[in-house]
Amino acid sequence: MDSRHKKISFRRNIPLIVKYIILSITLIIVLIPIIMIINGALKTRGEFLAHPYSLPIPPRWENFIEILKMNSFWRLVLNSFLVTSATTIGTVFICSMAAFATARIRFRGKNFVFNFLTLGLMFPVTIAILPVYLVVRQIGLIDNLWGVILVHTSFQLSFGVIILNNFFKSIPSEIQDASHIDGCSYFGFYWHILLRLSRPALASVAAIAAVFSWNDLMVPLVMLNSENLWTLPLGTMQFQGQYGTNWAMVGAFVTLSTIPAVILYLFIQRNLISGLTAGSIKG
Amino acid sequence: MNANIAKNNISRMSLVKNKFEKLKSRSTVLLFLLPAIVLFSIFLIYPIFRSVYYSLFDWKGFGPAVDFVGLGNFIRILTDEVFLKALVNGLIIVVFSLIIQLPLALMLALMVGRKLRGRGFFRTVFFMPYILSEVITAIMWILIFNADPKRGFLNAIITLIPGVKAQSWLGNTSLVLPAILVVLTWKYFGFHMLLYMAGLQNIPVETEEAAVIDGANRYQTITHVTIPLLAGTIRTSAYLSVLGSLQVFALVWIMTKGGPVNASELMSTYMYRFSFIRFELGYGSAVAIVMLLISLTISLLYRRFLVQPDYLG
């Protein structure tokens, strides 16, 4: 009786076991490239050439230390940090202002303005890069971090305005009416009430803008010439080009340049996910 | 009489006040919209019109454009075999994404479902490649694809099978595109899986339970209940996937530069080469315009024939 019961529960669990097997295989495939690069980074160059697939025991930290000693590495981190934070802050403010107008104020031509601001969805920066480059050159912002920041911000606007517009619309109009009766101006309502009520949505927009700006290669590649202005993706690409065969060093560089992104990811995961899936789950 | 005048005055006053309010509200609207509209116009709209102009010239990027060639650049694009190759490669990526990557993501999302133990963990890890930059992804995979089995893990694995030789994955014209498809799938399936998981969360469990009570088996429930209910999410994900495949650049540029012999050329690498390496900016502008038109067409077709993308509200 007991063994029969066991048998049944085992058979019932077969789909579950198959699920876990498939998911685990996928997991391994996802992790292999990441593990390989870290594994290489923890070896000396000689060890890597002799035993590429053995475990890095004992781990060698020399590659990491050497890169952390490079001023150029810290310069890249700083530049990326500047570009990403300015883009993120700019995107959040500019998008929330525009979305406030399109979601909460009645005015003529509102639909037109909203549709205009969402045009950016059709023109991703990769496609529009040459036209944008020509204009940035005309303005004189080539080889200037502001050029990168302004372009990054501009190309995040559409997505941000859409997310925030939807979110702002969901806030009851009574709150706005009450604040007006209490003598709050439009700006007062936006600044003191709306932004405070919309923190999760703002965080989502910020997360998406930050990830985009931190990872983007195209804009810095085209717009920055001076090495001391390069951002991390650009610097990483050049480093790989230069040290291409020294995989231990390249691995350490890649690992170090990923750490900020991974930490950021673990912190903002929830906001990032809710932003990316906002709206796409209806219907 | 007096009361009437007073009433009139009041209504006139309120009219003035109303007008003033209107003006104030209008200027407020303008103020709130101004930064977005200015940035948008300078960095998105104006550049496109400017490039339309430049695309009519043979222009190296210095001095004014004077060498007017009319539609010459566009004719050159459409008759250039390399561009057509890039177009075909782009199509292959789109088709592959739609018939392999998305179903894979859907399958995994259904497996993880709503309550599988470890759901959050799988989601976090599968989504990880999406947040790694294309640069880092490319470098990681250059190592995996390395032609020397002592460095490239893929070759190390396949050479374990007797009789199988190491391949130069990124150096072989017939292997390079499949190799890139693998990397694209690796990087982006987690994103689509995430969308499906979120969509799944929105389907009430009761609907599926009702199907089961009515005698549907597991497979029937999925194909007849769950997937139809996910249709909106699937459409959005397909649209984002198509649009996304136009944007692949850094990944391919770093891994292969579009080679060998243009075997992995994409429109984006083609445009980059002509614009920023050969500095044929007139021609590059024309390529950019063609790409923009393709992107615009996809978006319009999607909105016209399918539905409005869900994220538009």
What tens digit of pLDDT does each residue of A213-246 get? 999 999 999 999 999 999 999 999 999 988 877 8
- For an interface test with A, give the residue of B53, B133, B153 to mutate (most A CBs within 10 A): B133
Quote the mean pLDDT of chain B: 86
| pLDDT recorded at residue A6 | 58
Mean pLDDT of A100-106: 88
Do A154 and A77 have their domain in common? yes
A214 close to A28: Cβ distance less than 8 angstroms: no
Rg (CA), chain A: 25
Binary contact (B143, A36; C-beta < 8 A): yes
Is the pLDDT at B310 greater than 80? The verdict is no
Do A142 and A219 have their domain in common? yes
Choice among A4-8, A108-112, A130-134, A152-156 with the minimum mean pLDDT: A4-8
Is the pLDDT at A1 greater than 50? The verdict is no
Which residues of B, range 4-63, sit inside 8 Å of A by Cβ? 25-26, 28-29, 32-33, 35-37, 39-40, 42-48, 50-51, 54
A161 within a domain of the structure (yes/no): yes
Do A198 and A141 have their domain in common? yes
- For an interface test with A, give the residue of B30, B38, B40 to mutate (most A CBs within 10 A): B40
A48 within a domain of the structure (yes/no): no
Q: Which two tokens stand for residue A87?
A: 């883009």
- Domain span at A9: 2-41
What tens digit of pLDDT does each residue of B179-201 get? 999 999 999 999 999 889 888 88
Query: Going from the N-terminus, what domains does chain B have, and what CATH number goes with each?
Result: 79-312 (1.10.3720.10)
Is the pLDDT at B62 greater than 90? The verdict is no
Do A105 and A155 have their domain in common? yes
| Per-residue pLDDT band at B11 (split at 50, 70, 90) | low
Partners of residue B68 on adjacent β-strands: B57
Mean pLDDT of B250-256: 94
Residues of A in contact with B310 (CB under 8 A): 279-283
Mean pLDDT of B102-123: 88
Which amino acid does the sequence have at B274?
Answer: F
A60 within a domain of the structure (yes/no): no
A77 within a domain of the structure (yes/no): yes
Q: CA–CA separation, A10 vs A22, rounded Å?
A: 18
Binary contact (A236, B136; C-beta < 8 A): yes
Three-state DSSP at B114 gives coil
What tens digit of pLDDT does each residue of A31-51 get? 999 999 998 888 888 888 878
| pLDDT recorded at residue B5 | 61
Query: How far B249 CA sits from the closest chain A CA (Å)?
Result: 7
Is the pLDDT at A150 greater than 80? The verdict is yes
Do A102 and A8 have their domain in common? no
Q: Into how many domains does chain A fold?
A: 2
Do A194 and A239 have their domain in common? yes
Quote the mean pLDDT of chain A: 87
| pLDDT recorded at residue A282 | 39
* Residues B239, B242, B248, B252, CA torsion sign: positive
A261 or B272: whose pLDDT is higher? B272
| Per-residue pLDDT band at A7 (split at 50, 70, 90) | low
* Residues B53, B57, B58, B64, CA torsion sign: negative
Enumerate the H helices of B72-229 as residue ranges. Answer: 72-79, 81-96, 102-112, 119-131, 134-144, 153-158, 176-201, 205-213, 218-221, 227-229
Do A13 and A81 have their domain in common? no
| pLDDT recorded at residue B21 | 67
| pLDDT recorded at residue A9 | 62
Do A152 and A232 have their domain in common? yes
Identify the closest residue of chain B to A128 by CA–CA distance.
B288
A65 within a domain of the structure (yes/no): no
Do A160 and A114 have their domain in common? yes
| Per-residue pLDDT band at A131 (split at 50, 70, 90) | very high
Instruction: Tell me B60's DSSP state.
Output: -
Do A108 and A247 have their domain in common? yes
Q: How many C-beta atoms lie closer than 10 Å to residue A9's C-beta?
A: 9
Residues of B in contact with A272 (CB under 8 A): 131
What tens digit of pLDDT does each residue of B222-233 get? 888 888 888 888
| Per-residue pLDDT band at B271 (split at 50, 70, 90) | very high
Cβ neighbours of residue A233 closer than 8 Å, sequence gap 6 or more:
A80, A215, A216, A217, A220, B133, B134, B135, B136, B250
| pLDDT recorded at residue B256 | 94
Q: How many C-beta atoms lie closer than 10 Å to residue A59's C-beta?
A: 13
pTM of the model as a whole = 0.88
Is the pLDDT at A4 greater than 60? The verdict is no
What tens digit of pLDDT does each residue of B127-174 get? 999 989 999 999 999 999 998 888 889 998 888 888 888 889 999 999
Mean pLDDT of A155-172: 89
Do A7 and A99 have their domain in common? no
| pLDDT recorded at residue B306 | 64
Tell me if chain A has a CB within 8 Å of the CB of B191: yes
A172 within a domain of the structure (yes/no): yes
Mean pLDDT of A71-100: 95
Identify the closest residue of chain A to B276 by CA–CA distance.
A222
A193: CATH: 1.10.3720.10
Do A8 and A81 have their domain in common? no
A283 within a domain of the structure (yes/no): no
| Per-residue pLDDT band at B176 (split at 50, 70, 90) | very high
Is the pLDDT at B12 greater than 80? The verdict is no
> Which of B88, B310, B100, B306 lies closest to B188 in space, CA to CA?
B100
| ipTM reported for the complex, 2 dp | 0.88
